[in-house]
Structure 1
Amino acid sequence: MQRWISTGVVLLLFVLVFGLLIPAIHQAREAARKSTSKNNLKQIGLAVGNYADAHRCLPSGGVIREDGTAMQGWMTMYLPFMDASADFNRVNMQAAWNSLVNRNVTETVRPYYLNPSVRANSTSTGYGVTHYLSNPHLYYRNSSVTFEQMENGTAHTWVTGEVAGEFQPWAYPFNWRPLGTQLCNGPGSFGYPAWQGGHLLFADGSVSFFSEKTSAVILEKFAAAPPVPTREQIAVPEKRFETGIFYWKQMPLQTEPDRDHTYFAKVLENSDQRPVLIQLFRSNHKELSEEEQQQMHLEDQRTFSVPRLILQISKTTDLQQALKDSPLSEDTNAAQMQVILNRLESLQKQLP
């Protein structure tokens, strides 16, 4: 009997210790994620300074053409300063941010634009998102703000910070949001509710944490700091993106071995591993001679080896006709085409 009592006491102590350790482990992990988010903002701060050194101003919040076409946003312009020069060089600056030719870059999930405590990493249409939005006084339509215009000084002019929700693609050319008068005040505010506050990056490169109880007077001063653009300059489309946990999976497709092209499908899956989007890509693997390279236009040379989206498949796509009309029909035999059709139809039936 005494032995069973001793065993029970040991087990009880084990449960108590385990119960005390779990919250401590959770707090340690959350502190690490909080530190990572702060460091992400510091990296963006370095990009801010380096870009300004190179161009004598901050990048445009969003390059918007006269016809209203949204081209590229400020986060895209910082890619060369975030160790992503290769991706930046793949961006077609003459095409819209969400054009087919730019999707390979804009779909990429970039950890340095994410708060690791937030699970949403992508939109339901496959674009990588950001959990940081910028100061609309510094980044707005076709802006080119300089440090000299920050009359309150760089140490008192906020640049970007963590947002509580309503996340947007990092390449979206309208990634700015008014600071508001309270942090963690709903999904349209700044801050991370679980931390009861949030980090703000300032133009001098410093990052500070502000509690959700920070005085509205302080936030109003930050929000009102010059330069002050017009209402038209900071206007954004009334658009909301569905975001969540989504992952791309790549599926090779068998074609004729002597062809110059290879094909593959990219499938965007949700957290339940169900497909929500299917795309068909073509890559050119032919080796170009020097003479052929010289004959190609510069833009074609730059994107020649980059996979090109040739078909986006939805629930209502007539898959058999779409494949027949695509370049894939020229690079496959009848048996290969039937196998590909069957695989894609199986995935298509699972689309929402």
Structure 2
Amino acid sequence: MQRWISIGVVLVLIVLVIGLLLPAVHQTREAARKSVSKNNLKQIGLAVLNYEDAHRCLPSGGVIREDGTAMQGWLTMYLPYMDASPDYNRINMHTAWDSPANLDVTETVRPAYLNPDANSNYTNTGFGLTHYLGNPHLFYRNSSVTFDQMEKGTAHTWVAGEVAGNYQPWAYPFNWRSLGKQLCTGPGSFGFPKWKGGHLMFADGSVSFFSDQTAPEILNQFASAPPVPTLEQMAVPGKQFETGIFHWKQMPLQTDQHSDRSYFVKLLEISDQQPILIQLFRSNHRELTEEEEQLMDMDEIRTFSVPRLLLRIDKTTDISQALKTSSLSEDASPAQKTVILNRLESLQKQLP
């Protein structure tokens, strides 16, 4: 009997120790994620300084053409200063940020643009997200702000910070948001509610944490610091992206091994391996001839080597009809078309 009592006491002690350790482990992990997010902003801050040193100004918040086409945003322009020059060089700057030519880059997640404690990484259309947005006084439509315009000094001019929600694609050309007078007041605010505050990065590269109890007067001083663009320059589309935890999976379509072209699909899946979006791509196996290169400009050469999006498929897509109107109708053999059609229709049945 005494033996069983001793065993029971030991078990109770073990349970108590585990109960005491679990909160400490949780706090340690949360502190680590908080530190990672702070370091991400420091990386962006270093990119800010290096870009300014090279160009004597900050990049445009968003390059918007006269016809309203949104081209590239400020986070894209910092890629070469964040050890991502190869990805930057693959972007076609003469097309829109979300054009098929740029999907190879924009449909990726960039850890340095993500808060590791935020529960989302992609839009439901497959674009990698950012959990950091910029100061609309520095990043706005076709802006080119210089450090000299920051009348309160770089140490007192905020550049970017963690946002509480309504996340946007990192390549989106409208990645700025008003700071407001309080943090963590909803998905449209700055800060991270779980931490009861958030980090702000300043133009001198420093990063500081501000509590959600920070006085509105302090945040208002940051929010109103010059330069101050017009409301029209700071305007953003009234668009919200549906976001969550997704991942891309690529599947080859074995058709004709002797062809110059091959086809593959990319599936955007949720955590239980349920596909929610299908994309059909074509890639070229052969290299350009010298004569072909002479007839093309650099963007055309780059586009040739990048897989080409042929078709996006959801539950309502008439795949047979869509394939007839795509370039695949001329490029693929009848046998290839049959294999591709059957495979795509099989995958489509799995869509919710």
So what's the TM-score if we normalise by structure 2?
0.96
Separation (CA, whole Å) in 2 of partners of 1:61 and 1:345: 41
Contact 2:101-2:306 within 8 A present in 1 as well: no
1:280 alignment partner in structure 2: 280
Rounded to whole Å, the distance in 1 between the matches of 2:342 and 2:291 is 41
Give me the whole-angstrom Cα distance separating, in 2, the residues matched to 1:51 and 1:257.
45
Contact map agreement 2:80 2:88 (CA 8 A) in 1: yes
In the alignment, structure 1 residue 5 sits paired with structure 2 residue 5: yes
How far apart are residue 24 of structure 1 and its match?
1.1
In structure 1, what is the Cα distance between the partners aligned to 2:47 and 2:187? 27
Partner in structure 2 of residue 167 of structure 1: 167
Counterpart of 2:296?
296
The alpha carbon displacement at 1:244 in A equals: 0.5
SS at match of 2:233: coil
Query: Which residue in the other structure is 1:260 paired with?
Result: 260
Aligned to 2:141: 141
Corresponding residue of 2:105: 105
SS of residue paired to 2:305? coil
Residue 186 (structure 1) aligns with? 186
Does 2:120 correspond to 1:95? no
Report the Cα distance in structure 2 between the residues aligned to 1:184 and 1:345, rounded to whole angstroms: 45
Unpaired segments ≥5 residues, structure 1: none
Tell me the residue number matched to 1:33: 33
Q: Partner residue of 2:128?
A: 128
Q: Is the 8 A contact 2:255 2:335 kept in 1?
A: no
Match of 1:65 in 2: 65
Q: Which residue of 1 aligns with 2:341?
A: 341
| Counterpart-to-counterpart distance in 1, 2:195 and 2:86 | 35
How many matched pairs? Answer: 352
Match of 1:219 in 2: 219
Identity %: 74
Q: Kindly indicate whether residue 208 of structure 2 is the aligned counterpart of residue 208 of structure 1.
A: yes
Cα distance in 2, alignment partners of residues 344 and 110 from structure 1 = 29
Match of 2:312 in 1: 312
Contact 2:198/2:209 (8 A) holds in 1: yes
Q: Report the 3-state secondary structure (helix = DSSP H, G, I; strand = E; otherwise coil) of the residue aligned with 2:184.
A: coil
**Amino acid across the alignment from 1:270:** I
Q: Does the 8 A contact of 1:256 with 1:331 survive in 2?
A: no
Deviation at 1:335, TM superposition (A): 4.9
Tell me how far 1:100 sits from its aligned partner.
1.3
The alpha carbon displacement at 1:294 in A equals 3.4
Shift, 1:318, TM fit: 1.4
Tell me the distance in 2 between the aligned counterparts of 1:163 and 1:208: 14
Structure 1 window deviating more from structure 2 (103-112 vs 37-46): it is 103-112
**1:44 counterpart = 2:48:** no
Q: Once the 2 structures are TM-superposed, how far is the Cα of residue 329 of structure 1 from its aligned partner?
A: 4.7
- Name stretches of at least 5 consecutive residues in structure 2 with no aligned partner: none
Q: For the aligned residues, what is the CA RMSD?
A: 1.4
Deviations 1:226-278 (A, max 9, x none): 00111111011111110101110001001212211111000101223211111
Shift of 1:296: 3.1
Residue 218 of structure 1: how far off its partner (Å): 0.3
CA contact (8 A) 1:92 1:101 kept: yes
Does the CA-based 8 Å contact 1:113-1:170 persist in structure 2? yes
**Could you list the per-position Cα deviations for residues 187-217 of structure 1 after superposition, in whole angstroms to 9, with x for gaps in the alignment?**
1111111111000000000000000000000
Question: What code does the residue aligned with 1:218 have?
Answer: I
How far is the alpha carbon of 1:340 from its aligned partner? 2.9
Equivalent residues of 1:41, 1:207 under 8 A apart: yes
Q: Is the 8 A contact 1:261 1:284 kept in 2?
A: yes
Give the distance between the partners of 2:286 and 2:335, measured in 1 at CA: 24
Structure 1 segments (4+ residues) deviating >6 Å: none
Q: CA deviation at 1:132?
A: 0.3
CA contact (8 A) 1:256 1:332 kept: no
TM-score by length of 1: 0.96
Cα shift readout 1:142-170 (whole Å, capped 9, x = no counterpart): 10000000000000000000000010111
Per-residue CA shift, 1:5-28, capped at 9, x if unaligned? Answer: 111111111111111111111111
1:341 deviation in Å? 2.3
Question: Quick check: 2:310–2:328 contact (8 Å CA) kept in 1?
Answer: no
Aligned-partner SS, 1:81: helix
Q: 1:349 to 1:213 in 2, by over 3 A?
A: same
